[in-house]
Structure 1
Amino acid sequence: MLTESERLARRRDFAAVYARKRSWAGPLLVLYVRRYLEEEAAVVTRRFGFSVSKKVGKAHDRNRVKRRLREICRLHSLDWCGGFDAVFVARSGAADAEYSALEAAVGHLMVRAGLRAVREAEPPKPGP
């Protein structure tokens, strides 16, 4: 589960992200991003918000999509560089999508947005 400091909860936080008008769209999701300046990025790492409308499906379908997106962001949070707020808006096909398809869509949008962190190559593990 994402911690409270990693979640967008207030309407004004979502509005600030939407106001930046930086978005990337895919077949399952739309990603809106607000980046922070380097000085601000030291204080705020990364925060995620999720918007799933009734177009996606009934309440249990919308909740499943949000749970999956939260888990994907939690598992991959170290893969992304810090200093941004991101809002994922689910499209109607997201409710029927497999977990792996949502995971691939999130990763693809984060790469397109330039938020993928460059990890140093891990040293090879010694063989037997």
Structure 2
Amino acid sequence: MNREIRLRKNREFQTVYRRGKNFWNKDFTIFIRPTNRKKVKFGVSITKKFGKANKRNLIKRRIKEIIRLNVCDLGLGYEMVILPKKNTLEIDYIELERSLLRLINFALKKVLN
């Protein structure tokens, strides 16, 4: 994921948590906040409940790759924080991608329209 599309600072994450709307499914919770900019920014936050760092990093890498490959299809004008749930460790990449993109598209329809 490019630096331009990543949320990096704690205050950016906190703004999305406070001012954004949340949506969830069995695999993810996302917070999404519309902005006036013609940019899109994503962040991934994962708790230590997932276990050791290698497991947490695996999930983060998978999510970032899904976003990188699909960012041009996801529109502009919002910031989003993605929170995976514990069961994402057992899901293969294809199902993970399908679940995340379905949730993002649902959230974008609700928030941006």
Tell me, yes or no, whether TM beats 0.5: yes
Alignment of 1:1-128 (within 5 A): 2-36=1-35, 40-42=36-38, 45-114=39-108
TM-score, normalised by the number of residues in structure 1: 0.81
TM-score, normalised by the number of residues in structure 2: 0.91
Displacement of 1:114 after TM fit?
A: 2.1
Q: Determine helix, strand or coil for the equivalent of 2:26.
A: coil
Q: Which amino acid aligns with 1:85?
A: E
Q: Determine helix, strand or coil for the equivalent of 1:16.
A: helix
Distance 2:83 2:14 in 1: 13
Equivalent residues of 1:52, 1:89 under 8 A apart: yes
Q: Judging changes above 3 Å, is the alpha-carbon distance between structure 1 residues 21 and 3 closer, same or farther for their aligned structure 2 residues?
A: closer
What stretches of structure 2 of length at least 5 have no aligned partner? none
Query: Which one has more relative contact order, counting CA pairs under 8 Å at least 6 apart?
Result: 2
Equivalent residues of 1:57, 1:92 under 8 A apart: no
Deviations 1:62-117 (A, max 9, x none): 000000000000000011110111100011111121111110111111121125xx
Aligned residues with identical type, % of pairs? 30
Task: Count residues with an aligned counterpart.
Answer: 109
Give the helix-richer structure, 1 or 2.
2
What is the aligned-residue RMSD (CA, Å)? 1.1
Equivalent residues of 1:57, 1:95 under 8 A apart: no
Q: Which amino acid aligns with 1:6?
A: I
